[in-house]
Amino acid sequence: MKKTLVITGGAGFIGSHLCERFLSEGLRVICMDNFITSDKENIRHLFRNNNFKFVEHNVTKYINVAGKVDYVLHFASLASPEDYLKYPIQTLKVGSLGTHNALGLAKEKKAVFMIASTSEVYGDPLIHPQPESYWGNVNPIGVRGCYDESKRFAEAITMAYHRIHKIDTRIVRIFNTYGPRMRMHDGRVVPNFIYQVLHNKPLTVFGKGTQTRSFCYIDDLVEGIHRFLFSNINEPLNLGNPGEFSVMQLAKLVLKLTGSKNKIIFKNLPQDDPKQRQPDISKAKKLLKWEPKIPLETGLQKTVNWFKS
């Protein structure tokens, strides 16, 4: 019997790449999405695969899947600032009700459960780089609180199900990830800069551009998630690229790779925007023997080429 994997948010940026990876290894994949921020084009090529099934469903409602399920990956989320500032209540609901329903499915099927958490659980960090042991510095009532706290709640209920119901759980804290299938108007810095360059607009930098981010190419992240899922690690794990770049460095690199002469303009820093972001991936390196392989310049070039096409 083939192993069956259910992934919520499977038509999204990260979810669609995971669908591809698990299908390539012979698993049966049930992809669940309601397209609030994703795109059917991300998975259209998978419909020809007999091991792929798509279910259009809002996971804040009860999840019913017939038959045996071995893995439940809850990746449904409104992950970009543009989305969660526009849909704060939906963001909170998918992190709370959606996680509860996905955990219920895992409990019913006695399946391994993985939750896609985020580096945003660390908020605007007072510790740098951020290890999994850091509890974070989050403003629960700020404009970003709907996303940050939804993920913190998701982690809390996941650990509660692990302790009380003995569910085999994984909590992956994903740091900034980029690559093909990001939306052009995603609102995050990599697609923003690429969109602005390709449409001959000035690159918008918030603040002075000194805030740092760590950028992980999608293929590296998928490999880390794959290794984590098939491990026996129940505690949270950071996955991301520890290479730290300022937003201004990123802007100049995008200009260099595209040969563009676009201007850079500056705008006010958004409320509660983190000043630093860099994962401590010591645990992933030790426990999964994993670390990113793809340099930022290489990954950015692949991403630019995809956006152009």
Task: Name the pLDDT band for 1 (thresholds 50, 70, 90).
Answer: confident
Helices (H), 31-135: 81-86, 88-109
Domain ranges (residues) in the chain? 4-177+216-242+278-287, 189-211+244-277+296-308
Q: How far apart are CA 151 and CA 293, in angstroms?
A: 27
The pLDDT of residue 68: 97
Active-site residue, from 71, 84, 122, 147: 147
Establish whether domains 4-177+216-242+278-287 and 189-211+244-277+296-308 are of one fold.
no
| CATH number of the 189-211+244-277+296-308 domain | 3.90.25.10
Query: Exposed, middle or buried: residue 141 (CB in 10 Å: 0-12, 13-18, 19+)?
Result: exposed
The pLDDT of residue 269: 82
Residues 239, 221 contacting (CB under 8 angstroms):
yes
Rounded average pLDDT over 172-179: 97
The pLDDT of residue 273: 77
Q: Can 178 be counted among the known catalytic residues?
A: no
Q: Which of 8-12, 155-159, 271-275 has the lowest mean pLDDT?
A: 271-275
Rounded average pLDDT over 74-78: 97
Average pLDDT over the chain, rounded to an integer = 96
Q: Is the CATH number of domain 4-177+216-242+278-287 3.90.1150.10?
A: no
Residue 272 has pLDDT above 80, yes or no: no
Task: Name the pLDDT band for 253 (thresholds 50, 70, 90).
Answer: very high
Residue 10 has pLDDT above 90, yes or no: yes
Q: How far apart are CA 270 and CA 65, in angstroms?
A: 41
* Alpha-carbon dihedral sign for residues 171, 172, 175, 180: negative
pLDDT single digits (tens) 193-238: 999 999 999 999 999 999 999 999 999 999 999 999 999 999 999 9
Shortest CA distance to 161 belongs to which of 118, 104, 111?
104
